[in-house]
Amino acid sequence: MIPIALTIAGSDSGGGAGIQADLKTFSALGVYGASVITALTAQNTLGVTAIHDVPADFIAAQMDAVYSDLAVAATKIGMLSQPATIEAVAAGLDRHKAKNVVLDPVMVAASGDRLLAREAEATLKRVLFPRALIVTPNLHEAAALLETSVATSESEMREQAQRIRALGARAVLIKGGHAEGPEAVDLYVDEKEEHRLVADRHRTLNTHGTGCTLSSAIAAFLARRLSLLDAVTLAKSYVNLAIAAADQLSVGHGHGPVHHFHALWKRSKDGEGNDKTHPA
């Protein structure tokens, strides 16, 4: 039986983040993907122009439909913009005894557009953190969740990770992609150990959807029955390679997507000698 993962998140009409990025990631990593859409966004590589929230009762209906039929081995949670949405998702997780929950606290899009209502932040921490196997904030999200300044050192990242874990999650991965320096350093912290995960930093504007892709990759590897630390480690490697190959796609006029299928699509040259990428 193929492993199955579920994404509960918002739709990105531009295809680079949210539900679309999650399903691409699941597929690229050999996992069947199901989806529960929490919001519709009018969005492209330049920004978000509109958000339409899905009613909480319809979110619950989607969850019931998926969990009652599919053997979901891991669940990734992304954009949940309103308190009622968060409550509905938490109730659905409990109702279906969801396992391997990966929570990406999506608060602000890469364009700077806010995706989580300020009044929903407390609900997110109170209701969903205790139900999560791992929470994956970036530096700015971690600071916002703790109402403090953005970490500027690894010691500050470690301290913030511990404070976030104290909110109920079994493990925390603070992503250092927004920091400076030649390396992108993430810190993994659980109840027993800490790990420093390092990857080369790539010079590209095409990083739209990296957070969604990382959290869904963790869920995919969990669905394939890897340990949490192995899932996190392999997910970071996958995202790093997707970023390295992002410029092959040339999508949009702003911050384009990462290349989810970098290992599956062939590269060739066009008539002018430029790299092109296409399905094998």
Task: Say which of 33, 176, 177, 211 is annotated catalytic.
Answer: 211
- Find out whether 5 and 220 touch, Cβ atoms under 8 Å: yes
Question: What are the phi and psi torsion angles at 164 (to 5°)?
Answer: -70, -40
Catalytic residue check, 175: yes
Catalytic residue among 25, 210, 213, 233: 210
3-state secondary structure of 83: helix
**Residue 207 among the catalytic residues:** yes
Burial of 150: CB neighbours in 10 Å, binned 0-12, 13-18, 19+: middle
- In angstroms, the CA 105 to CA 155 distance is 22
Q: Catalytic one among 45, 212, 233, 256?
A: 212
Catalytic site residue from 207, 233, 236, 256: 207
Contact 67, 92 (CB under 8 A): yes
The rounded distance, in Å, linking the Cα atoms of 89 and 55 is: 12
Verify whether residue 211 is a known catalytic residue: yes
Number of Cβ within 10 Å of residue 268's Cβ equals 10
Q: Which of 209, 213, 233, 256 is catalytic?
A: 209
Radius of gyration of the chain, Cα coordinates, nearest whole angstrom: 18
Catalytic, 277? Answer no
Q: Is there a catalytic annotation at residue 276?
A: no
Judge whether 45 counts as a catalytic residue: no
**Catalytically annotated residues:** 175, 207, 209-212
